[in-house]
Amino acid sequence: MNRFNVRVYGLWISQGAVLVCEEYIRGAQVLKFPGGGLELGEGTLDCLHREFREEMNLEISVLGHYYTTDYFQPSAFDDSQVLSIYYAVEPRNEVHLPLRNEAGHFFMLPLADLLQSLSLPIDKKVAALLCQQYLPGSF
């Protein structure tokens, strides 16, 4: 393992639900937060804006940093170490959900269902933080 895989994700929470994306990654169905890989020469916020435009044709406002991976996480898909950065976001244009396109299936998932639904280990860590913040008494 001699590479880093930097991922940038957006967390849009509205009315007790959070935006998620169901997609196929290397033949496996994965439920995750929307976002993707940082490209060489790109800043994390540029990456986040690009990913939302590419995947959902959506302009977003970034409200602030939420979480960055603070432990070692090997990739489930290749020989790299994953570093994920999460930002709180909100849409700047109208969103019609659910949305299904070549990038995946985007929909709002109730926060109460988040922990048992997400596929990726770092997303699950962030889901626990979100639930602690937005669903007091659930932990």
- Predicted confidence at residue 29, as pLDDT, reads 93
pLDDT at residue 2 above 80?
no
Q: In this predicted model, what pLDDT tens digit does every residue of 39-53 receive, in sequence order? A: 999 999 999 999 999
Residue ranges per structural domain of the chain: 4-134
Query: Which pTM was predicted?
Result: 0.93
Is the pLDDT at 135 greater than 90, yes or no? no
Mean pLDDT of 13-31: 93
Q: How far apart are CA 138 and CA 118, in angstroms?
A: 17
User: Per-residue pLDDT for 138 more than 60?
Assistant: no
pLDDT for 136 equals: 72
Query: What pLDDT is recorded for position 137?
Result: 66
pLDDT in tens, 87-121: 999 999 999 999 999 999 999 999 999 999 999 99
> pLDDT above 90 covers what percent of the chain?
86
Tell me the average pLDDT across 58-85: 94
Cβ-proximal residues to 22 (8 Å cutoff; 6+ apart), any chain: 29, 30, 31, 104, 105, 106, 107
- pLDDT bucket at 22, cuts 50 / 70 / 90: very high
Strands 60-68 and 81-91: antiparallel
CATH class of 4-134: alpha beta
**End-to-end alpha carbon distance in the chain:** 35
Structural contact between residues 106 and 34, judged by C-beta atoms closer than 8 angstroms: yes
103 to each of 1, 26, 76, 78, 113, how far by Cα in Å?
A: 28, 13, 20, 20, 23
**Does 137 or 9 have the greater pLDDT score?**
9
Token pair in block for residue 16: 């007790």
CA–CA separation, 81 vs 19, rounded Å?
25
